[in-house]
């Protein structure tokens, strides 16, 4: 895995083999951030990375000078790896929280400009995530929520759905509180 752009551009990191996360591929991540660059000023944005796994998206956001990044993850192994990267890169604006994503969204009152969720593809409640993000009002006006998922899911009927992109086996569905993308 590598950091695509920003102050840590080109930095490679290898998660331990005992991590169970499925990191977003570099190709898909680069495509995601190219799209985001056209619809959101990522520099200075507040970011929430749900199911953060190895922290690949969080680290990319920090590299691109996001103001604050909150990574939510349940696995101690994955959290330990992200904390190791935070220490190595001397990052001070990335906070890692050990929590169940659903519980975090219901109990936390912070709002964000960009929310990214990369749940396990086999998660039975994946379809509940967009509803919960909007019901708990975690997304700022004009902000963007991106859900990574497999081909088994379609969110084009969701009231906040804006568009979908596919990169190999990776699918991204984009949502906004207000449809201001176009």
Strand 170-175 with 139-149, pairing: antiparallel
CA 47 to chain centre: 8
Is residue 179 pLDDT above 70, yes or no? Answer: no
**Residue 40 CB: number of other CB atoms within 10 A?**
16
CA 87 to chain centre: 20
Give the N- to C-terminal CA distance of the chain in Å, as an integer.
Answer: 32
For 173, phi and psi rounded to 5 degrees? -110, 130
Q: Is residue 92 part of a domain?
A: yes
More confident residue, 130 or 26: 130
pLDDT in tens, 130-145: 999 999 999 999 999 9
Q: Is residue 32 part of a domain?
A: no
Domain count for the chain, please give it: 1
**Residue 71 CB: number of other CB atoms within 10 A?**
29
pLDDT at 182: 46
Distance CA 62, CA 46 (A): 10
CB 118 within 8 A of CB 56: no
Helix (H) or strand (E) holding 149: strand 139-149
What is the percentage of the chain residues whose pLDDT exceeds 90?
82
pLDDT in tens, 68-125: 999 999 999 999 999 999 999 999 999 999 999 999 999 999 999 999 999 998 899 9
Average pLDDT over residues 31-50: 94
Q: Is residue 117 part of a domain?
A: yes
* Band (178; pLDDT cuts 50, 70, 90): low
Structural domain containing residue 50: 42-152+162-175
Cα four-point dihedral sign 41, 155, 72, 35: negative
Q: Is residue 52 part of a domain?
A: yes
Q: Is residue 36 part of a domain?
A: no
Which CATH number does the domain housing residue 53 bear? 3.40.50.150
Strand 68-73 with 94-98, pairing: parallel
Q: Is residue 166 part of a domain?
A: yes
Average pLDDT over residues 170-175: 96
């Amino acid at each position: 895995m590598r950091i695509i752009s920003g102050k840590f551009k080109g930095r490679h990191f290898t998660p331990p083999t005992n991590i169970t996360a499925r990191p977003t591929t570099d190709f898909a991540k680069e495509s995601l951030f190219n799209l985001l660059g056209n619809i959101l000023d990522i520099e200075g944005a507040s970011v929430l990375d749900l199911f953060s796994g190895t922290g690949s998206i969080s680290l990319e956001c920090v590299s691109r000078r996001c103001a604050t990044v909150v990574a939510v993850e349940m696995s101690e192994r994955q959290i330990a790896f992200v904390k190791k990267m935070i220490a190595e890169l001397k990052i001070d604006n990335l906070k890692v929280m050990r929590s169940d994503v659903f519980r975090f969204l219901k109990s936390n009152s912070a709002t964000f400009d960009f929310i990214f969720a990369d749940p396990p593809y086999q998660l039975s409640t994946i379809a509940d995530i967009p509803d919960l993000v909007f019901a708990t009002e975690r997304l700022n006006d004009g902000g963007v929520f991106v859900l990574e998922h497999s081909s088994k899911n379609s969110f084009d009927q969701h009231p906040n759905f804006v568009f979908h992109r596919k990169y190999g086996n990776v699918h991204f569905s984009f949502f906004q509180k207000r449809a201001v993308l176009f």
